[in-house]
Amino acid sequence: MISQTMKGHLILLNILLLFLLFPLCIPSFLQDQERDIIVELPGQPSHVDFDQYSGYVSVNQQAGRALFYWLVEVPKSSGPESKPLVLWLNGGPGCSSIAFGAAEEIGPFHIQPDGKTLYPNPYAWNNLANLLFLESPAGVGFSYSNTTSDLYTAGDLRTAEDAYVFLVNWFERFPQYKHRDFYIAGESYAGHYVPQLSYILYERNKGIQNSSINFRGFLVGNAVTDDYHDYVGTFEYWWTHGLISDSTYVTLQALCDFESSEHPSKECEDVLDVADVELGDIDPYSIFTPTCNKSAAESHRLRGYYPWMYRAYDPCTERYSKVYFNIPEVQKALHANVTGISYPWETCSDIVGDYWADSPRSMLPIYRELIAAGLRIWVFSGDTDAVVPLTATRHSIDALNLPTVVKWYPWYDDGKVGGWSQVYKGLTLVTVRGAGHEVPLHRPRQALVLFESFLEGKAMPSKNKETRLWETHTSAQLHASE
Ligand SMILES: *[C@@H]1O[C@H](CO)[C@@H](O)[C@H](O)[C@H]1NC(C)=O
Ligand SMILES: *[C@@H]1O[C@H](CO)[C@@H](O)[C@H](O)[C@H]1NC(C)=O
Ligand SMILES: *[C@@H]1O[C@H](CO)[C@@H](O)[C@H](O)[C@H]1NC(C)=O
Ligand SMILES: *[C@@H]1O[C@H](CO)[C@@H](O)[C@H](O)[C@H]1NC(C)=O
């Protein structure tokens, strides 16, 4: 039995301890982290076994630029603290990593056609790594600038610098991720963002032992890489897949091969328009699958003068995310739009995309340097994409003249050919059979096999592998969702 006075003393001691410990000892990063915890998203499935955080990180005080992130951790049963961190970026330029990467590709939740409820994605990449989605640059999605002119002057350089500042500040808020294996992944125009940000990290980590941002390598899919080789390979793809006429093929080569992808000449644009008409009403991001049955007005708006470079894949799911992420309760749960942004959340920002400034013609010099530095570099390609097609990627990689370590071979999953792969010295190329521009959307299972192999640093399986690490974990969910 404890006496009353003793109890009193204990209470006093506790109060004293509270006063002593709390104001002094709770580090501010923990308070910031706590503020960013997502308690629950409207319409989210029950039994969610992983933590999520989201919020803003300021990247430029003067202009008032802040970037929005969403961290999705590995399920607690799989030990998130021992798993790497992967930053995911979508392209456009001007498209949101939350609209595409999180909500229809690799994220844990996808959105039902009602635009209100979420369902689990059994092949989510957070089964294997902690995922950090970033809406980049400012002006995209919930990321904003208090200096409106910033939206009209975005380009590669500022995008990379802001993303770097974001990372530095983000790691201060989440120090438990310091020194953890860190990778960057992305697709499409992120074929620029990913190597450019990688290069900055590599440069600023030089000479530092045990850097807090422990950058290990990158993974890009259907990536804009080198304008000349991309154009050559893209026109070749269109012609060999019967999408354009002989004469248009000849004219494209004559007028566009040496142009910039973001800023082509008027002559080149004109012949691209001719090609667009010849392609007809197919989905260029996935040439063998049906298009989303949109209203005529909407489909017109989405087909810009140069649709294959501007937009990420536009299946109907894009419409559901437009509904979901504009719901005020969803924004509240995400700690998004806290300053009352003057325009709605869009999957892609027309302003940012249309006014895009600097866009270097080739990422190959960065590839050469990062390959020499020994970083892990994987390039994948869905082979039914006509926007940044496999042939474009192959010509770009061929231009690097890398020695082959493992020659071209079919890789297998579940007894079937998942695609093909070739391992070069310093770079691994993986194709995904039957996948369009957004590989994890079209071939979610094969994409997860690819991600697993990348993280393990092992070549794609040349024959059927026993059981995958994530298979036992996800099979229950899979059956539940079928
Ligand atoms: C942008 O302006 C709002 C309103 O003045 C302010 O609350 C916010 O902190 C500013 N954002 C940044 C990143 O400075
Ligand atoms: C790197 O530094 C951190 C923090 O000082 C430490 O915990 C970790 O063990 C170090 N890792 C290596 C490989 O030296
Ligand atoms: C597209 O939607 C309209 C209106 O809902 C419908 O009448 C039409 O049959 C649909 N077309 C296709 C190809 O599914
Ligand atoms: C932000 O919130 C305002 C209402 O305060 C809304 O009108 C606007 O569409 C929202 N913008 C974004 C980007 O979510």
Quick check: CB of 291 below 6 Å from ligand 1? no
Phi, psi angles (nearest 5°) of residue 182: -130, 130
Does residue 276 surpass a pLDDT of 50? Answer: yes
Quick check: CB of 339 below 6 Å from ligand 1? yes
- Dist. CA 81 → ligand 2 center (Å): 15
What the block records as the tokens of 405 is: 């370590």
Mean model confidence pLDDT for the chain: 89
- The CB-side HSE value for 346 (13 A sphere, CA atoms) comes to 20
Which single residue is written with the structure tokens 């009602």? Answer: 114
303-334 residue pLDDT tens: 333 334 433 344 578 889 999 999 999 999 99
179-224 residue pLDDT tens: 999 999 999 999 999 999 999 999 999 989 899 999 999 999 999 9
Mutate to test the pocket of ligand 1, among 337, 339, 341 (most ligand atoms within 8 A of CB): 339
Using alpha carbons, list the distances in angstroms from residue 241 to 15, 50, 313: 74, 43, 19
463-479 residue pLDDT tens: 856 556 555 544 444 43
Mutate to test the pocket of ligand 1, among 58, 59, 146, 341 (most ligand atoms within 8 A of CB): 146
Does residue 383 surpass a pLDDT of 70? Answer: yes
Ligand nearest to the CA of 59: 1
Which single residue is written with the structure tokens 């194709």? Answer: 431
Give the pairing type, strands 376-382 and 404-413. unpaired
What is the atom index within ligand 1 of the atom nearest the CA of 338?
7
- Asked if 91 and 312 touch (Cβ cutoff 8 Å), the reply is yes
Of 393, 69, 103, which Cα lies nearest the Cα of 231?
393
Tell me the pLDDT band of 13, cut-offs 50, 70 and 90.
Answer: low
Quick check: CB of 148 below 6 Å from ligand 1? no
Does residue 428 surpass a pLDDT of 50? Answer: yes
DSSP code of 226?
A: B
Residues with catalytic function: 188, 385, 437
In 144-257, beta strands by DSSP E:
144-145, 181-187, 214-221
Of 192, 185, 164, 243, which Cα lies nearest the Cα of 363?
192
What is the atom index within ligand 2 of the atom nearest the CA of 209?
14
180: left (phi over 0), alpha (psi -120 to 50) or beta: beta
91-109 residue pLDDT tens: 999 999 999 999 999 999 9
Phi, psi angles (nearest 5°) of residue 277: -65, -40
Element (H, E) at 89: strand 85-89
What is the atom index within ligand 4 of the atom nearest the CA of 331?
14
- Asked if 414 and 395 touch (Cβ cutoff 8 Å), the reply is no
Q: What are the beta bridge partners of residue 421?
A: 409, 430
Stated pTM of the model: 0.88
